Chain A
C-alpha cells in the first residue's frame, strides 16, 4: 500500500512538473520573435503570395492561425496544449498538417527509447565490472588506465565520439559497420557505443569510488572476521552494498543519455525523436516542439521514479 501511495504521490509531482514545463515553454515560444509562418522555408514560400495577392495571403494566415488556435488568448492556447499532451492526442504538426503527431511518434519514439535504454544497459554492464576492477586494483596501473579512460569517456560528448566513429568506420575501416541509417542491429552498434561511452565512464568511476568506500566499512571487517573468502567478500558484501548507491546515478545518467540521443541521431542520420525534435525547433513547429519536450520530460522523470522504486526494493533500509 505504501508503495502505491508513493507512486501516486510521485506521479502527481511529475504531472505538476510537466504542466509547469509545458506552460513555460509555450509562453516562451509564444513571445518568440519568429513563428512557423516566418521560418525560413515558409517565408520564402509565402513571399510571392504576399506580394501578388495580399487578400489571399491574409486568408491563408488567418486560416493557419485559427487551425492551430493561435488567435485565441494565451491562457486558452496553453490549456489547449496541456489537454493535447495529457490526453496523448498531441494534435497535428505544422510542417506536415495532414500527419497526426502520434502517428509520427509511433515510428520515432521507439527508436530513441531503444537507443537510450540500450546504451544505459550497456554502460552498466561494462561500467560496473570496470569499476570493480579499478577499485580492487586501486593505485595500480590498471586503476589509472580505467580511471583515465573513464574520465575521457565522460569528457567527450556523444556527438564528438559519433563523428569520430563515422570517420573510423566510414573511412578507415569502411564496410564493417554501417555509419548511417536505421534498421538492423548493425546500425545500432555505433550509436549505442557513442552514447554508452560517457555513461561507462560515469558508472565505472562511481562504482570504483563506491566500492572503495564500502570496503572500508565496519561490516566488511565483520565479514572478514567470519572468515569469508576474498571473492564472496567482494561480491556478496562489497559490490552488493555499492550497487545500491550505484543505482542513484542511473536516473541522471538516463536524462543525460536522452539528450545525447538527439545529438547522435543527427550524426548517424537515425530517424528518431531527435530528428523530429530538430525539425520542430528549427522551424518553430509548436505542436511538435511541445510534444517532444513533453515526451523527453516524462521519459526522464518516469525513469527516475523507476530508479527510486528499484532502489527501495534492493535496499531494505529505504522506505517508500
Chain B
C-alpha cells in the first residue's frame, strides 16, 4: 500500500509541476531555442504573406512587359531589374511565390490526404490491406517521385491542377508509412500502456502523449515535404515540363536566366537567391521542429 501511495504522490508532484505547460507549448519553447529555426520561420512566414498579398503589392502586371526597358539592371523603378521582354523581376518573383505556394501546398495536401487515408487503413485494418499498402509504399519509395511526376505531367498537362496532382500523387508513400507507424505506436505503445496502468484517463493520455507525438511528427513531415515539392516544381520547369509561361515560376526564371546568365546576371541573383533562402528556411524550421518534438531531443 505504502508504495502505491508514494507513487501517487510523485505522480501528483509531476502533474503539479507541468500543470500550465501543455506539451505543445513546451515543444514551442524548445523550438525557440534554435535561432536558425526561428529565423527560418520568419522567412517562411514572409514567403507565405508575399504569396497571399502578392498581386496587390506587385508594382507591375506579370503579363505586361515594358519593351522600352528590357534587360535592365536593378533601379528605383525596377528594384530587381527587368528581363529580356521587359518584365519587372520584382513582380515576377511575387507572382512566382504565389504559383509556387499554390502548387506546393496543393501537392503536399494531396500527398498528405492520400497518405493519411492509406496509412490509417493499413494501421487500423492490418492483415492483407496492410501488406498490400506497405508493398505499394516500398514500390513508390524505390524510385524517385520526380520520375513519376514527369510521367504524370505527360498525361495531365502543365496547368496548376495537373501539376498539383502530378507532384502530389506520387508523394503519398512517406506520409502513409508515418501515419501507419503512429497508429501502431499508439496501439501498442508502452508509454500509453504505462499511463493507463497508472490510472490516467483516456482524455489525459490523448492530450498528454498522443497529441504532441502526432502533431510533432506530422509537422516535421510537412516541413520537410513542402520544400521537397517546391524543388520538384522548379525541377519540372528546368526540364521544360513545368508551369507554362507566361505564368511566372521560379523554375522558369532560373532556367531562362541560365540561358543568358553571362550578360544579365541579376536575372539570376534574385530568383535563385530567394528560392534558395526559402528552401533553406523550410529546412531550418523542419530541423528545429524535429529537435523540439523528437523524444531524444532533450539532450
Name B239's contact: one of A33, A166, A263 (CB within 8 Å).
A263
Q: Is B284 an interface residue (CB 8 A)?
A: yes
Give B135 Cβ to nearest chain A Cβ, in Å: 11
Binds B, one of A20-28, A42-50, A111-119, A233-241: A20-28
Q: Is B238 an interface residue (CB 8 A)?
A: yes
Interface centre among A33, A162, A255, A259 (most CB of B within 10 A): A259
Give A286 Cβ to nearest chain B Cβ, in Å: 9
Q: Is A256 an interface residue (CB 8 A)?
A: yes
Are B239 and A278 touching (Cβ within 8 A)?
yes
Query: Closest residue of chain B to A164, judged by CB?
Result: B272
Q: Is B227 an interface residue (CB 8 A)?
A: yes
Residues in B whose Cβ lies below 8 Å from that of A68: none
Are B154 and A160 touching (Cβ within 8 A)?
no
Name A255's contact: one of B144, B261, B269 (CB within 8 Å).
B144
The A-B contact count (CB < 8 A) is: 114
Are A266 and B238 touching (Cβ within 8 A)?
yes
Are A163 and B258 touching (Cβ within 8 A)?
yes
Distance, CA A123 to CA B153, complexed state (A): 31
Are B265 and A167 touching (Cβ within 8 A)?
yes
Residues in B whose Cβ lies below 8 Å from that of A266: 238-239, 255
Name A300's contact: one of B144, B153, B257 (CB within 8 Å).
B144
Binds A, one of B19-27, B111-119, B273-281: B273-281
Residues in A whose Cβ lies below 8 Å from that of B272: 160, 163-164
Extra 17 A-B pairs, beta carbons < 8 Å, given A297-B143, A301-B143: A28-B152, A28-B154, A151-B287, A156-B276, A160-B275, A160-B276, A166-B258, A167-B261, A255-B142, A255-B143, A256-B144, A258-B144, A281-B150, A281-B240, A282-B239, A293-B151, A300-B144
Distance, CA A28 to CA B139, complexed state (A): 18
Q: Is B243 an interface residue (CB 8 A)?
A: no
**Contacts A148-B36, A263-B239, A304-B142 given; does A166 touch B154 at CB 8 Å:** no
Distance, CA A303 to CA B280, complexed state (A): 29
User: Can you list 10 A-B contacts with CB-CB less than 8 angstroms, sorted by A residue number?
Assistant: A29-B155, A33-B157, A155-B282, A162-B258, A163-B268, A258-B144, A263-B238, A267-B238, A300-B142, A301-B142
Contact with B along A241-275 (1 / 0, CB 8 A): 00000000000000110110011001100000000
Are B155 and A17 touching (Cβ within 8 A)?
no
Interface centre among A154, A162, A163 (most CB of B within 10 A): A163
